[in-house]
A and B are shown apart, each in its own frame.
Chain A
């Protein structure tokens, strides 16, 4: 049977093909089931769900979703939760009913009282996987079922639902932890672990002695923030089981990373120490253990850990823990870091320099500055940039001349960092910076550096503001684009309208970046009394230019003028057919405190370009107006899935009961997995749970073999 254009496939044909010995014929027959009347289709799709071949079952599950959760199909599916021999069919039924989400919950909960224990376990699984908080009532009831396996399955399912209703699930699971039998307590504990719920140490301590619960209890101990828990985890490092060692190690590291003050850990016995050193060695294969071991070794003050942590700084998988380890070591790590700054791989040297700022103290200040001064002229742009960034915040007035010279040299790899460092030093030591600039003003090669200082100090560097603007005008005639760019930016920072002509002419620069920079500068340019002076020209630009990038940049610059007339011109730009311009205008409007922006934003929710609609949603999210909420809710039905997903996230941040209702209603019908995930996430955010959670940040412990 093949699908026919008129959709006039007969039930007899499907019936015949579903009996074919060839699985491909049966699969193809399944694909045309939607052409049948709905009730008939439900019967055939259930038949296909029970097929021997997984491909047919998979196709049938897809078709069931396509047919939707009709009463007939739900009735037929829940019937299959009663005892039967076809395991494949029951699995497919669980899959399909769970995919229907909230729509399947009344049918499943309605049938539970009549199901046997196996059926109830399946029902609990469906309810957990349906990812809808309305299943919680039925699942809580199953916690009191006479069958232990059903109770355990219910506790597991509640754990699965957790993120949608954190407070409610945590309350139920904590009750189950205190009152339930051993297996239910284990399921509850694991559910709480998955949610990252903080369980008081007093409740956990007795569980750490139970051979069944110990592992999960120690995993939970890592979230308590208590020294006693750290001791328990440290003792567990001596456990014979490698899995328990790993769990304790990761838990200990989590505890340390989450602690607001440095936790003390008792010294390890020789065997535990050997295992720790083994775990953090570069040759160790388990990445999670290695990450955790770096942190724990730092707390224990293991000397070899400093170099290993430095080595790990450039490894994306380990850098967070390596960084934390070096912070724990504090200034005692500085000699090793300084030794590594001078030699070796450039990326590693740059990373090591980047850590100096957080570790330097009064005693080490001079040695650190000395190392940085040597590194700012390094041949590697990466190293020089890192050193300049560090010197920008750690350097003194005596460093201005050296950084000034680096800016003047305009080395491509390190110029941005050099400019930022010089600006930072100038702001901290303005008098020294002024003197340096005045001495160098005649030297054309130094115009870029002098411009940086004028920009950083906002004028008054070479004399009067007029003197500075005149100097910058000269710098704008430089053949070097970087000098012109820096001068344009500096003119914008000097509080004077004298620079307007210079910036206007920079709009005709042959370098695109300088044109755009000049447009942005027009938005920032202020007269002495703080009035925006570039607004009129920006408005003209948006009206006259046919260059979308320039107009989009002008739209953003208009926002910076904070000028009412300039703001008004953003409204028509937001309706531009060019998405580049419309997005720029919408984003700018969204950031302004303009009461009229809501009207424009509401008009744009129907814009044909999805990116514009997304920008509108993000802007509406910040507007406290019921119309904005209604539009965010309506966007949950937008044809583009990425718009629907963003609308869900926006509603989550918007918050409130109505936003929750929109999200819940959509969750019942949405089929796109990524949108469903966003809906669940948003619902979790709206709930604003009072439960304290500390989700794991290092790889979760593996199951005991």
Chain B
């Protein structure tokens, strides 16, 4: 950087990129390939201005050693992980849930009348509310204890998810009946109705912090779509093992359409549904490392 350069002209050097990339990876498991240098540079540049720093090297030092580093790391992750999403995304998986998985769980859990679903990496909450709407629409769980947990590493995303107010673009894949039935249009956007909102609980969780994620308890279904693609192999394995541990025997794991557990040693069994392939924790548990990959 030349002397007197403006903050919006600051360039990220390759060595600075590697330092920041490794720091983010160590904290969150998210891995940025070398091609992501411009992404990090663009998204983190505003933090340099906010902190009056001159180089990304200084920013790295701030993240490592400042007394405010934990809060700043949250800020950085907010900028690096925010991804736009929408209701009823990848609907073939949702149909699989509605038509095959939920009826099965209604049968399996009839005695305890309890259903817990977790959207891990829920961004601004669209997936969480989608799942809650599907459960409510099914009428299979009326008067059950139903919880849909949503967690994300970004505080801002969690706060936005809690608000439950959405603009038009979030509804690109939603039919008018759903919108009318489960949202209330107001001046500031479409509000999730209280009946659905009350099923949904949001938390700020880092998936690689396997101790802290235990607050989720045992769940029947995990949705973790288009999240693990950002993780390195080691972190992906750690998170998959954690999902295995959090799921009830017979519980289901939904990954994104481009994701699979290929090359990840796991005890999950693959279940062929009519429209999708999902993973299931066997009813009779075999330790994950004993069994080969799926």
- By a beta-carbon cutoff of 8 Å, the part of chain A in contact with chain B is 442, 444, 470, 473-474, 476-479, 501-502, 504-510, 540, 544-545
A478 cross-chain contacts in B, Cβ below 8 A: 162, 197
Most A C-beta atoms less than 10 A away, residue of B155, B158, B194, B200:
B194
Residues of the B chain whose Cβ atoms lie less than 8 Å from the Cβ of A510: 155, 158-159, 202-204
Across the interface, which residues of A come within 8 angstroms of B200, CB to CB? 477
Asked if B215 contacts A508 (CB within 8 A), the reply is: yes
A473-B147, A473-B201, A477-B162 given; 15 more Cβ-contact pairs under 8 Å: A442-B194, A444-B194, A444-B197, A477-B198, A478-B162, A501-B147, A505-B216, A505-B217, A506-B203, A508-B203, A508-B205, A508-B212, A510-B158, A510-B202, A545-B211
Residues of chain A lying within 8 A (CB to CB) of residue B199: 474, 477
B215, A504: Cβ atoms under 8 Å? yes
Bound complex: CA A473 to CA B148 (Å): 11
* Nearest CB of chain B from residue A605's CB, rounded to whole Å: 30
Contact with B201, one of A444, A470, A476, A544 (Cβ below 8 angstroms):
A476
Distance (whole angstroms) from the CB of B213 to the closest CB of chain A: 8
Q: Per-position contact with A for B134-163: 1 when CB-CB < 8 Å, else 0?
A: 000000000001010101000100110011
Asked if residues A474 and B198 are in contact (CB atoms below 8 Å), the reply is yes
Q: Give the residue among A444, A473, A501, A510 with the most B Cβ atoms within 10 A.
A: A510
For the complex, count residues of B whose C-beta is within 8 A of A. Answer: 26
Smallest CB-CB separation from B116: which chain A residue?
Answer: A501
Give chain B's interface residues, CB within 8 Å of chain A: 145, 147, 149, 151, 155, 158-159, 162-164, 194, 197-205, 211-212, 214-217
The 7 closest A-B pairs by CB, nearest first: A508-B203, A474-B198, A510-B204, A544-B211, A479-B162, A510-B155, A479-B163
A-B contact count (CB 8 A): 62
What CA separation (Å) do A506 and B217 show in the bound complex?
12
Chain B's closest residue to A518 (CB) is: B215
B151 CB contact (under 8 Å) in A470, A476, A506, A508:
A508
- Chain A: CB-nearest residue to B198: A474
Q: Which of A478, A501, A545 gathers the greatest number of chain B CB atoms within 10 Å?
A: A501
Report whether A505 and B145 are in contact in the complex, using a CB–CB cutoff of 8 Å: no
B286 to chain A, nearest CB (A): 26
Query: How many angstroms from the CA of A473 to the CA of B217 in the assembled complex?
Result: 15
Q: How close is A178's CB to chain B, nearest CB, in angstroms?
A: 67
Q: Are A504 and B217 in contact (CB under 8 A)?
A: yes
Decide: B197 and A477 in contact? CB cutoff 8 A. yes
Closest-CB distance, A65 to chain B (whole angstroms): 41
Q: What are 24 residue pairs bridging A and B, where the CB atoms are less than 8 Å apart in the complex? A: A442-B194, A470-B145, A473-B147, A474-B199, A477-B162, A477-B197, A477-B198, A477-B202, A478-B162, A479-B159, A479-B162, A479-B163, A505-B149, A507-B203, A507-B212, A508-B203, A508-B204, A508-B212, A508-B215, A510-B155, A510-B158, A510-B203, A540-B211, A545-B211
Residues of A within 8 A of B155 (CB): 510
A545 cross-chain contacts in B, Cβ below 8 A: 211-212
- B216 closest partner in A (C-beta): A505
Query: Smallest CB–CB gap between A599 and chain B, Å?
Result: 30
Assembled-state Cα–Cα distance A502/B200 (Å): 11
Q: How far is the CA of A139 from the CA of B203 in the complex (A)?
A: 73
Partner of B215, one of A442, A477, A505: A505
Q: How far is B147's CA from A464's CA once the two chains are assembled, in angstroms?
A: 20
In the bound complex, do residue B201 and residue A479 qualify as a contact, i.e. CB atoms below 8 Å apart?
no
Q: How far is the CB of B39 from chain A (nearest CB, A)?
A: 24
CB distance from B146 to the nearest CB of A (A): 10
For residue B218, which residue of chain A has the nearest CB? Answer: A501
A476 and B200 CA atoms in complex are apart in Å by 9
In the assembled complex, how far is the CB of residue B135 from the closest CB belonging to chain A, in whole angstroms? 14
A313 to chain B, nearest CB (A): 42
A502 to B163, CA, bound (A): 19
Chain A residues lying within 8 Å of B162, measured Cβ to Cβ, are 477-479
Q: How far apart are A393's CB and chain B's nearest CB, in angstroms?
A: 34
Interface centre among A442, A478, A505, A544 (most CB of B within 10 A): A505
Distance in Å from the Cβ of A536 to the closest Cβ of chain B? 11
Report how far A478 CA is from B149 CA in the complex, Å. 13
Q: How far is the CA of A473 from the CA of B151 in the complex (A)?
A: 16
- Among residues of B, the one whose C-beta sits closest to the C-beta of A502 is B201
Q: Which residue of B lies closest to A484 (CB)?
A: B162
Chain B residues with Cβ below 8 Å from A544 are 211-212
- Give the complex CA separation of A474 and B197 in angstroms: 8
Interface centre among A442, A477, A504, A509 (most CB of B within 10 A): A477
Q: How far is it, in angstroms, between the C-alpha of A591 and the C-alpha of B204 when the chains are bound?
A: 34
Contacts A470-B145, A510-B158 given: A477-B217 contact, CB under 8 Å?
Answer: no
Q: B164: nearest residue on chain A (CB-CB)?
A: A479
A473-B147, A474-B198 known; A505+B164 contact, CB < 8 A: no
CA of A544 to CA of B158 in the docked complex: distance in angstroms? 24
Interface centre among B159, B197, B203 (most CB of A within 10 A): B203
Check if B217 sits within 8 Å of A501, measured CB to CB. yes
Residues of A within 8 A of B211 (CB): 540, 544-545
- Cα–Cα, bound, A567→B8 (Å): 55
A477-B201 contact in complex given A505-B149, A508-B151, C-beta closer than 8 Å: yes
Query: Closest CB of chain B to A200's CB: distance in Å?
Result: 64
CA distance A678 to B214 in the complex (A): 50
- Determine the distance from Cα of A501 to Cα of B163 in the docked complex, in whole angstroms: 22
Measured in the bound complex, the distance between the Cα atoms of B206 and A545 in whole Å is 13
Q: Which chain A residues border B151 with CB–CB below 8 Å?
A: 508
Q: For A444, A506, A508, which residue has the most chain B Cβ atoms within 10 angstroms? A: A508
A104 to chain B, nearest CB (A): 50
Cross-interface CB contact of A505 among B159, B163, B194, B203, cutoff 8 Å: B203
